[in-house]
Amino acid sequence: MISFWRIPGFLLLAVVLFQAVDNPCSAQQQKKPPASKIPRGSGQINAPPVTPVQAGRRQAVRQAAAEIDLLIATLHRSNQVTPTEQLDDDLFCRRAYLQIAGRIPRLDEINRFLTSEDEDRRQKLIDRLLSSHDYVSSMFNFWSNLLRLQDHPVNNNMLAQPFHEWIRESLASNKPYDQWVREMLTAEGQIWENPAVGYTLRDSGMDLDHVDNTIQVFLGTQIGCAQCHDHPFDHWTQMNFYQMAAFTFGTQTRAPAGNRQRFSNGPPLQRLREEMKKQNPQYNVNGVFSRVINANLFEVSDPQGRRLKLPHDYAYDNGKPDQPVTARPIFGSLPEAAAGQNPRHQMALWLTSRDNPRFTRNIVNRLWKHAFGVGLIEPVDDLHEDSAAVSPELLLFLEEELKRLNYDIRELQRVIYNTSAWQRSASAEELDPEKPWLFPAPLLRRMTAEQIWDSLLTLAVYNVDSFTRPSMKSLAADIDLDLNTAKPAEVRKAAETFDAKYSQAAQNRITRQRNTYKGKLVLARASELPMPLPPDHFLRQFGQGDHELIESSSTDGNVAQILTMFNGEITHMMLEAGSVIYDNLLKARTVDQRIRVIFYSILGREPSRGDESTAESEIRRAGSAGYGNVIWALINTKEFLFIQ
């Protein structure tokens, strides 16, 4: 017996019949909203369209999934592992939404899926979800945790949101992964003209850490220890680290303000502040005036000349302190195409090459872990030459498949989600770190902070996807300056525009009017909120990281989380008129039907008999308040928080 709350899977929500329509928002939109404090989205989503997966590849996807299942079956046979059973449709639906869309399904979505008689309904649901804005949102969370995305990394003058928009666009257009990484690693210019520079700007001023981070994220390899000494558990030497770091050491993240050739009129910040003060001594040149100048100074370029040297206390025989270092990859060799390119391009070509085994292995292993909760090699960010996968054949197959798919990682996810292995009920077994996980099933996992938040919003807010962050698209037109020739008046105008349209205050103004509950709680998907959030925000409480370090998130529980779920704003909102679940409840007529609405909405399943009688007696006892109590109780269950 695997599932903890066992439910036979078939049902029709006869009462609450939402029409299955292509735009899931429109059905809701047509209802006239009753007066409510809960803001509603318009139904329009101000985000780039998502390239749909190719329906024509369904057969190929099934075949690849079957091959994975064969490899898993071999693994099970040779280790006498009994896999868990396949999920019923209702729990499959919940798992697919949480995994791919990053939230639980809405009642109308559940209804549509469970009433479908299409034999391919599972595959089609996977396809539809992979082609949705939800997928972009959920993968954005995945990447923001890995790439440590912050709105203002390094300091407040750096405006990184265009980079974040670019990541969303890349996900929406399903840009090949290797190309995407190459673009980040090689981008030049200012963030509003080439947003991919945000990757390099994230570590502005931290040249050596930047190399360490890049190798960890994209090659799953830790070389950080070798920054200060030969790696104790691996064969990287301090020399290797420095040689690797030499590729990007020449890269600059700020325009050279003191360079007379570039700025013949003098250092721009100083010059413009002085000129402004002369014109208007009262004007405050410290605030946003300086900020737009500083923001304009952030640019990524590769001037030649800056060379990395060994540290002054270099202690090994293979080099001397302060000796200049020549760039060399930590393993393998530069591809031929790299000849004659600048060092950063060379590094990018080497790193993203098909012939770099760890480039492919790293992403395949991370995506597998994303799906199953455990990587084929653990830990995923510490691959070694002799790291053994639990099934080397499976790992190899996935690597080859990703190459065949030309690094279309979404397509690889499509294959993985179509396997029987992934569609099994979560394991009742716990991971024993002494033993490899042999994939009898995906691990039982608590939802991530983002999944919990987005799921609660799904229960409470109509068209929450409409609440996207204000776009930075016009940033270039509004604040781009030619810093050598700019006049104070231009800077002042740019500063005023910045204040009015892009500053944190401006963004707060927009959200306050549009999507704030009780003037405080900003209602938007986790992927559309500022980063990092303050430590007492719901998302941080439930384990969203501060994005200071790679994968800083956690799914551990604590007392503070319980306090918030018991008694927080978002729980109160759920129980108010105008919340999605409240309205759906009212649409149902009988107590029975209402109880079903609650169970399906929150847990994605039918109430068992026992559930029904417990809920009924509560409602008999407490009257209409009883419905609220049942909703409250269900969102506080462990079943809600965990993905079976």
Partner 1 sequence: MRQSDQNPALRSADTSKAATRRQLLSRSSHLFGGAATLAGFWSSLQAAGLNASTSGTIARRAAQARSVIMIFNCGAPGHTDLWDMKPTAPADIRGEFQPIETSVPGIQISELLPDLAKRMDQLSIIRSVHHRHGGHNSGMHWSTVGKPYRIDSTLINPGPADIPCLGTLLGWLARRDGYSAAVPPYVITPAPHCDSTKYLTPGQFGGCLGNRFDPFVLNADPAAQDFRVPGLKLDDAVSPDRLNGRTSLLQALEDRGTPIRSDQIAAIDEQRRRALNMITSSDASAAFDLSREPDTVRDRYGRHSWGQSHLLARRLIEAGTRFVTTVNGPSITWDTHKDNFNQLRNRLVPRMQQAYVALLDDLAERGLLQETLVIWMGDFGRTPRINKDAGRDHWPQCYSMVLAGGGIRGGQVVGSSDSIGGEPFERPVTPADVHATVFAALGYQADQITYHHADGRPAPVCDGTPIHELL
Question: By the criterion CB under 8 A, which residues form the site for partner 1?
Answer: 1, 4-6, 312, 373-374, 378-379, 381, 428, 430-434, 443-444, 446, 534-536, 538, 540-541, 543, 545-546, 548-568, 572, 608, 610-611, 614-615, 618, 622, 625, 629-630, 632-634, 636-639, 641-642
CA distance 223 to 210: 11
Q: Using an 8 Å Cβ cutoff, are 595 and 615 in contact?
A: yes
Question: Mapping DSSP to helix (H, G, I), strand (E, B) and coil, where does residue 445 land?
Answer: strand
CB of 377 to partner 1, least distance (A): 11
298-301 and 521-522 strand pairing: unpaired
* Rg, Å, the chain Cα set: 27
CA distance 472 to 218: 27
C-alpha atoms less than 13 angstroms from C-alpha of 320 in its C-beta half-sphere: 2
CB of 550 to partner 1, least distance (A): 7
Nearer to partner 1, 506 or 633 (CB): 633
356's tokens: 């770099």
First-to-last CA distance in the chain?
Answer: 13
CB of 541 to partner 1, least distance (A): 7
Nearer to partner 1, 328 or 445 (CB): 445
Nearer to partner 1, 497 or 553 (CB): 553
Instruction: Supply the DSSP string of 454-486, one letter for each residue.
Output: HHHHHHH-TTGGG-PPPP-TTHHHHH---TTT-
CB of 224 to partner 1, least distance (A): 9
CB of 83 to partner 1, least distance (A): 16
CB of 179 to partner 1, least distance (A): 27
Nearer to partner 1, 489 or 563 (CB): 563
CB of 176 to partner 1, least distance (A): 27
CB of 602 to partner 1, least distance (A): 11
CB of 592 to partner 1, least distance (A): 17
DSSP letter at 205? T
CA distance 416 to 419: 5
CB of 487 to partner 1, least distance (A): 36
Q: Which of 132, 306, 146, 281 is nearest to 216 (CA)?
A: 146
CB of 389 to partner 1, least distance (A): 15
The sign of the dihedral angle between the CA atoms of 547, 551, 554, 555 is: positive
252-254 and 298-301 strand pairing: antiparallel
Contacts of 533 (CB under 8 A, 6+ apart): 539, 540, 544
What are the C-alpha distances in Å from 23 to residues 26, 103, 112? 6, 17, 13
Q: Using an 8 Å Cβ cutoff, are 588 and 596 in contact?
A: yes
Bridge partners, 617 (sequence order): none
CA distance 213 to 146: 10
CB of 417 to partner 1, least distance (A): 21
Chain-centroid distance, C-alpha 263? 40
Nearer to partner 1, 247 or 453 (CB): 453
Residue with tokens 């939404």: 97
CB of 644 to partner 1, least distance (A): 9
State phi, psi for 298 to the nearest 5 degrees: -75, 115
Nearer to partner 1, 340 or 535 (CB): 535
CA distance 43 to 26: 7
CA distance 157 to 479: 13
Nearer to partner 1, 178 or 606 (CB): 606
Nearer to partner 1, 492 or 605 (CB): 605
Nearer to partner 1, 73 or 206 (CB): 206
CB of 621 to partner 1, least distance (A): 8
Nearer to partner 1, 127 or 151 (CB): 151
Q: Using an 8 Å Cβ cutoff, are 517 and 37 in contact?
A: yes
* Number of neighbouring beta carbons within 10 Å of residue 537: 17
Q: Which of 638, 582, 643 is nearest to 107 (CA)?
A: 582
Question: Mapping DSSP to helix (H, G, I), strand (E, B) and coil, where does residue 135 land?
Answer: helix
CB of 111 to partner 1, least distance (A): 23
224's tokens: 């950080």
Q: Using an 8 Å Cβ cutoff, are 90 and 604 in contact?
A: yes
Q: Using an 8 Å Cβ cutoff, are 84 and 426 in contact?
A: yes
109's tokens: 């979505």
CB of 403 to partner 1, least distance (A): 28
563's tokens: 């306090």
Chain-centroid distance, C-alpha 278? 48
Nearer to partner 1, 471 or 636 (CB): 636
Nearer to partner 1, 238 or 418 (CB): 238
Q: Using an 8 Å Cβ cutoff, are 514 and 109 in contact?
A: no
Nearer to partner 1, 245 or 444 (CB): 444
Nearer to partner 1, 281 or 519 (CB): 519
Nearer to partner 1, 66 or 591 (CB): 591
Nearer to partner 1, 361 or 501 (CB): 361
User: 233 burial class (0-12, 13-18, 19+ CB within 10 angstroms)?
Assistant: exposed
